[in-house]
Chains A and B, each alone.
Chain A
Amino acid sequence: MLPQNPSADIVAYASRAILDLKIQRDKLHQYQKRITILTNRETEIAKQMLAQGDKKRALLALRRKKYQESLLTKTDAQLEQLEKLTSSVEFALIQKDVVFGLQQGTKVLQEIHQEMGGIEHVEKLMGDTADAIAYQKEVSDMLGNRITADDEDEVEAELAALEAQASGVSVPDNLPNVPNTNLPVQVPEREQQQGASKQPERQAMLAS
């Protein structure tokens, strides 16, 4: 990486170089303007000379115009070279900035890596993280089983309610209270018949 001051000096030096190139370019532009003006004037002079019947002087003016146009062509080529060189210098400055940016980015990245503690530290950290995640999962599973059992009852109750709603059964609001007394014991038919036959015997004994 270049030191800051030499870099600044390079930028200043390059800026001055670009300025000098552009000033030369401007001078060529101005020269071209003058040539163009002179060329136009020579054309006008030639027209005037022809109007006055002086063909020789008209021809002379056109020759001067031709020469000036050749100068214009030469300056065009020189101007192109100057502009190419200026663009090259400017692009080189941009490239320099890009390289500097890359250097800075790399340096920052390396510093970040150092702060991270290196690959061994990262591996250990990843292992610890995995262990912690596994432990958390085990705890979650244990808690989830009990909670799941409780939730299952609620879910089944809710399902029953939904099924009742889906079947269209409407429950009236004023239902009677559920009786609290015990249900009467129901005797099977066989025992009931045996009970009935015992009653006449008792009546016969009483009659005797």
Chain B
Amino acid sequence: MASDSRTGADTASSAAPSTFQWPREYSFPPFFTIQPNKTTRHTQFVKWSALVQSYCAHHRIFKLRVSAAAPASLPGLPNPTGAGGTSEAATTVAAAAANADGGAGDNIAEPAVELFANRRVKRRLFPDDAREVVDYMHRHGAAEWIDETGGGQKDLAWIWWHTPEQWAAMIEDWVDDTAQKGAVLTLYEIAEGEGTRGTELHDLDRDVLHRALKILVNRGKAQIFGSGDSQGVKFF
């Protein structure tokens, strides 16, 4: 987990079928309103950061699209001033709901609408506030904007519930534990093979895997060879 504090958040389990344990503050209505007091706001951001990380870890969400997780309009919940129930927002919500129901698609914000919206207390984090939370996480190393250089509004971010360095360490440990130093491995078998089933490496996002392997390459612990989709890695 990233260095950010996880006060109040339950430890996320890597077992997907288990139920995610929401922290106590998730049921506290003011938690969904950015606080004016500086100290309180900082504590709030720390808790939101921990919640986002543990939620994404539980559901193995590597990339979070803020506009999908915190859409401009949600039926039955408060909306930002001036935001209407546009068809585009409804489509986004429907797509998110479809993903939450197990619909096809990648793992970008699949079940994440509930992350920023608690229907039981009829509160939600507005899109700009959610973006501010992720921006806080970005500044503290718990997230990284993907589309920051695009010039537009930041929307898609890596959520580092494990940093690339931590993933790299896990890969190295797995290679050691399975006595595969010197062996040639494909990226597929690391991320989706039977050898990693039951470990956190299984179903690892391919881009995250690449970043972790590059770290190992820079340390002289691994060598990537091949090109395109036919890449392999050898560990030393």
Contacts and interface: CB of A to CB of B under 8 A. Distances in A.
B188 interface: yes
Contact of A15 (B188, B189, B193, B234): B234
A37 B192 CA distance: 16
Interface stretch (B87-95, B114-122, B140-148, B224-232): B224-232
Interface string B187-211: 0110011000000000000000000
Contact of A26 (B183, B184, B186): B186
Q: Looking at chain A, what size class is its interface with the partner chain?
A: 10 to 19
A23 B183 CA distance: 14
Contacts, number: 35
Contacts of A26: 186, 188-189, 193
B225 A19 contact: yes
Q: Which secondary structure characterizes the binding site on chain B?
A: mixed
A23 B227 CA distance: 12
Contact of A19 (B192, B193, B230): B230
A64 interface: no
A138 interface: no
Interface string A14-41: 0110111011001001100000000000
A69 interface: no
Contacts of A30: 188
Interface residues of B, number: 14
B185 interface: yes
A16 B189 contact: no
Contact of B232 (A23, A29, A90): A23
A12 to B, nearest CB: 8
Contacts of A90: 183
A22 B225 contact: no
Contacts of B189: 22, 26
B183 A16 contact: no
Given A19-B232, A23-B232, 6 more contacts: A19-B226, A23-B226, A23-B230, A26-B193, A29-B188, A29-B193
Interface of A: 15-16, 18-20, 22-23, 26, 29-30, 90
Interface of B: 183-186, 188-189, 192-193, 225-226, 229-230, 232, 234
6 closest A-B pairs by CB: A19-B232, A26-B188, A18-B184, A22-B186, A15-B184, A19-B184
9 contacts: A18-B184, A19-B230, A20-B230, A22-B184, A22-B232, A23-B188, A23-B230, A26-B186, A30-B188
